Amino acid sequence: MNEEIIKRPRGTGQKISWFFAMLCYLLSLVSIVFALYWKMENGTQSPIFASALASIFFFVSCGFVLQYVANANLPDFNLSKKT
């Protein structure tokens, strides 16, 4: 019961996941800017504004999940290294 948690280095998949998480956060910021622009120019009664809000939610949610996967301490499942 007294096992130490070994922090393993990030794998290639986790590095790719971190990159796409940051890209999703960036795209959510772009969506926020677009939604604010659309609100000032056309108001909030347009379906395009609703789509911009949905895009913000989507990109933030994807970024959160991908960042969580990128920071996970995954075990090593390689059977060839174990004896």
Tokens of 17: 């996941």
Domain ranges in the chain are 13-68
78 confidence band (pLDDT: 50, 70, 90): confident
Please write the tens of the pLDDT for every residue from 24-76. Answer: 999 999 999 999 999 999 999 999 999 999 999 999 999 999 999 998 887 76
Residue 80 is predicted with a pLDDT of 74
pLDDT (tens digit per residue) in 19-31: 999 999 999 999 9
DSSP string, 26-58: HHHHHHHHHHHHHHHHH-S-SHHHHHHHHHHHH
Placement of tokens 């347009």 in the chain: 46
Residue 1 has pLDDT above 60, yes or no: no
